[in-house]
Amino acid sequence: MTYTLSKLPYALDALEPHISKKTLEYHYGKHHQAYVNNLNNLVAGTKFENVNLETIAKEAEGGIFNNGAQVWNHTFYFNSFSPEGAKEPSGKLANAINRQFGSFSAFRDEFSKAAGTLFGSGWAWLVKNPDGNLNILQESNAGNPLRKGLTPLLTCDVWEHAYYLDYQNRRPDYIQAFWSVLDWNIISGRF
Ligand code: MN
């Protein structure tokens, strides 16, 4: 199997001014593409040559895990956005957020704090546990909740390459912008 870069479901400039065309040209066009290319080079001749990305995220180690999980994480991240998406969760996810965090606003504060305080490179995640409860996680580097048997619902990439061109060192400003481009119809459908 040759892994390929999945197509973005919107134009490169569709998320402006929150996430610029320039950021997507690099983040999607260069970084995401590089993880795909690295993965294809690394899996050749290994037992991971013909498996899906979920299997790599769950079972691989070292470079194959790092690049494979980064491919999966970025596809998931980029497929959470839309220029005119729903601004709040709905249905069962909305109920679960309200039950567990008190309100959507309180959840946003808690998730933003997790994304803002994650040291170094990594991903903040909202996940569904096997018992149906929600949890906010911080994962370093290519960390992926599938490895822990959890269901990913939402992620925020806090690697500097996700925001440096638009916000330089101001990660909190990027996190604020991140909320503006999420499509909660998509995220609610993952619950
Ligand atoms: Mn990234």
pLDDT on residue 11: 98
128 CA to middle of ligand 1, Å? Answer: 22
Q: Tell whether 61 and 107 lie within a shared domain.
A: no
The Cα 64–Cα 135 span in angstroms is 27
Q: Tell whether 157 and 183 lie within a shared domain.
A: yes
Q: Tell whether 59 and 143 lie within a shared domain.
A: no
Q: Tell whether 101 and 60 lie within a shared domain.
A: no
pLDDT tier, 153 (very low <50, low <70, confident <90, very high otherwise): very high
6 CA to middle of ligand 1, Å? Answer: 14
Position 16 in a domain: no
Q: Tell whether 99 and 55 lie within a shared domain.
A: no
Q: Tell whether 52 and 109 lie within a shared domain.
A: no
pLDDT on residue 1: 66
Q: Tell whether 40 and 66 lie within a shared domain.
A: yes
142 CA to middle of ligand 1, Å? Answer: 9
pLDDT on residue 6: 97
Q: Tell whether 180 and 101 lie within a shared domain.
A: yes
Position 57 in a domain: yes
Q: Tell whether 101 and 36 lie within a shared domain.
A: no
pLDDT tier, 33 (very low <50, low <70, confident <90, very high otherwise): very high
Q: pTM (2 decimals)?
A: 0.97
Q: Tell whether 142 and 168 lie within a shared domain.
A: yes
Residue 52 sits in a domain of what CATH number? 1.10.287.990
102 CA to middle of ligand 1, Å? Answer: 30
Instruction: Compute the mean pLDDT over every residue in the chain, rounded to the nearest whole number.
Output: 97
User: Which residue would you say has higher pLDDT here, 50 or 100?
Assistant: 100
Q: Measured between alpha carbons, how far is residue 178 from residues 10, 17, 99, 107, 156 in Å?
A: 16, 11, 24, 14, 8
Q: Tell whether 49 and 126 lie within a shared domain.
A: no
pLDDT on residue 27: 98
CB atoms within 10 A of CB 17: 9
120 CA to middle of ligand 1, Å? Answer: 13
Average pLDDT, integer, range 69-89: 97
- Its domain, for residue 157, covers 91-190
Domain total of the chain: 2
Q: Tell whether 103 and 169 lie within a shared domain.
A: yes
3-state SS class at 143: coil
24 CA to middle of ligand 1, Å? Answer: 10
The Cα 116–Cα 2 span in angstroms is 35
Position 136 in a domain: yes
98 CA to middle of ligand 1, Å? Answer: 29
101 CA to middle of ligand 1, Å? Answer: 27
27 CA to middle of ligand 1, Å? Answer: 6
> Does 163 score more than 90 pLDDT?
yes
Residue 121 sits in a domain of what CATH number? 3.55.40.20
123 CA to middle of ligand 1, Å? Answer: 9
